[in-house]
């Protein structure tokens, strides 16, 4: 699919739930989410039908996200059904990793190709502070489980939280020294829970280059600038939605767990896909792509999206 400016759109981020077992300070309120009535959340069959239509329109990669995708009832069935879609080249998932010790093997068997595991610190106390209820050892066990069942090309995603996890940048990057991992640092975006945070929380990705001066630029991987230090096995990626807006290369659309197509993460624009089938569903997805906004306006005042990150999926 192409939008009106000629950008190719072939990547769908599918949010399967707005619920989560963590309460990360920048993503969700302490009290969690007000659980939506069951009927407002798409069934596994509806999510599959929307994905099938997106693939028929030209989507080649689907990433399952949330909330936490692994708390979604029926997630393995969904993975199996998506994996069977003709034309889908990659099925990936972004997870906080806590349920991977139980589920990594089943996810692999269900056809998930690659995992992104979110990990913002390697310090136990800070992990508790950031996630409000998680334990570092759970996330590390999740990462180990993914490796043990044979996932390759796993990415560790860390959000840069100025004044909170600055001391974690170097230790997190070091995860890529001896392992086939890409550790990616993401600039915090002012949306939802952290929309009104003070400026000092929003570090640019240059902080990574200062913390790990040995990093050398080796190229680009999608939206991530790619670096490696001499002798390291893995890579370090910098994702700069704020300091280097990459909207001109944006290749993605999103579908929320309540069945709304979001052509842009930071736009108010949402198009309901629920109740649509066949050609009508496909045509609505194509129209959504056609009107994809040119760019976000984060630097000029924040996100226009009324939704929080856990309702969209990142």
- Kindly tell me which of 88 and 139 has the beta carbon lying closer to ligand SF4: 139
- Read off the tokens for 35: 């659980």
Separation between Cα atoms, residue 169 and residue 29, nearest integer Å = 25
Per-residue binding string, ligand SAM, 94-113, x by CB under 6 A, is xxx-----------------
User: Which among ligand SF4, ligand SAM, none contacts residue 107 (Cβ within 5 to 8 A by kind)?
Assistant: none
Q: Is 48 in the site for ligand SAM (CB under 6 A)?
A: no
Q: What is the dihedral of CA 120, 313, 48, 270, to 10 degrees?
A: -170
Where does the chain have alpha helices with state H? 44-57, 75-83, 100-109, 124-131, 136-148, 169-174, 206-211, 278-290, 309-312
Q: Name the residue among 259, 200, 178 with its Cα closest to residue 14.
A: 259
Q: Residue 154 touches which of ligand SF4, ligand SAM, none (CB < 5 to 8 A by kind)?
A: none
Contact with ligand SAM (CB under 6 A): which of 134, 142, 237, 314? 314
Burial class of residue 8 in the structure, from the number of CB atoms within 10 Å of its CB (0-12 exposed, 13-18 middle, 19+ buried): middle
232 contacts ligand SF4 (rule: CB under 6 A): no
Which residue, 19 or 215, is less far from ligand SF4 as judged by CB? 19
Report if residue 310 touches ligand SAM, rule: CB under 6 A: yes
Residue 142 makes contact with ligand SF4 by CB under 6 A? no
DSSP state of 93: E
C-alpha 200/C-alpha 162 separation (Å) is 6
- Choose the contact partner of 191 out of ligand SF4, ligand SAM, none; CB within 5 to 8 A by kind: ligand SAM
The smaller minimum CB distance to ligand SF4, of residues 155 and 310, is found at: 310
β-sheet bridge partners, residue 297: none
**Minimum gap (Å) between residue 148 Cβ and ligand SAM:** 19
Site for ligand SF4 in 78-107 (CB under 6 A): 96
Assess contact for 76 and 110: CB atoms under 8 A. yes
Q: Segment near ligand SF4 (CB under 6 A), from 23-31, 40-48, 162-170, 293-301?
A: 23-31
For β-strands 252-255 and 224-228, DSSP reports them as: unpaired
Q: Which of 16, 27, 107, 164 binds ligand SF4 (CB under 6 A)?
A: 27
Cβ contacts of 43 within 8 Å, gap of 6 or more? none
Residues in touch with ligand SAM (CB under 6 A): 20, 26-27, 65-66, 68, 94-96, 118, 157, 159, 186, 188-189, 191, 194, 309-310, 313-314
Residues in touch with ligand SF4 (CB under 6 A): 20, 22-24, 27-28, 66-68, 96, 118, 309-310
């Amino acid at each position: 699919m192409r939008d009106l400016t000629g950008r190719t759109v072939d990547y769908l981020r599918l949010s399967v739930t707005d619920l989560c077992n963590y309460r990360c300070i920048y993503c969700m309120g302490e009290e969690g989410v007000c659980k939506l009535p069951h009927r407002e959340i798409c069934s596994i069959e509806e999510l599959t039908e929307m994905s099938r239509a997106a693939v028929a329109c030209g989507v080649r990669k689907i990433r399952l996200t949330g909330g936490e995708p692994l708390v979604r009832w029926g997630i393995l069935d969904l993975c199996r059904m998506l994996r069977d879609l003709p034309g889908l080249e990659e099925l990936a998932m972004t997870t906080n990793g806590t349920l991977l010790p139980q589920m990594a093997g089943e996810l692999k068997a269900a056809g998930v190709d690659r995992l992104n595991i979110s990990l913002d610190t390697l310090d136990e106390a800070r992990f508790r502070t950031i996630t409000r209820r998680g334990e570092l050892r759970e996330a590390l066990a999740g990462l180990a489980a993914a490796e043990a069942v044979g996932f390759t090309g796993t990415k560790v995603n860390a959000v840069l939280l100025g004044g909170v996890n600055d001391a974690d940048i170097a230790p997190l990057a070091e995860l890529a020294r001896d392992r086939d991992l890409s550790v990616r640092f993401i600039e915090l975006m002012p949306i939802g829970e952290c929309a009104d945070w003070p400026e000092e929380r929003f570090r640019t990705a240059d902080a990574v280059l200062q913390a790990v001066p040995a990093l050398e630029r080796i190229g680009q991987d999608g939206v991530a600038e790619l670096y490696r230090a001499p002798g390291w096995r893995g890579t370090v990626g910098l994702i700069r939605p704020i300091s280097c807006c990459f909207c001109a290369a944006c290749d993605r659309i999103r579908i929320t767990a309540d069945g709304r197509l979001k052509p842009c993460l930071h736009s108010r624009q949402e198009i309901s896909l629920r109740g649509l089938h066949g050609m009508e569903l496909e045509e609505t997805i194509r129209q959504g792509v056609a009107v994809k906004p040119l760019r976000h306006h984060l630097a000029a005042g924040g996100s226009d999206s009324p939704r929080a990150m856990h309702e969209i999926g990142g």
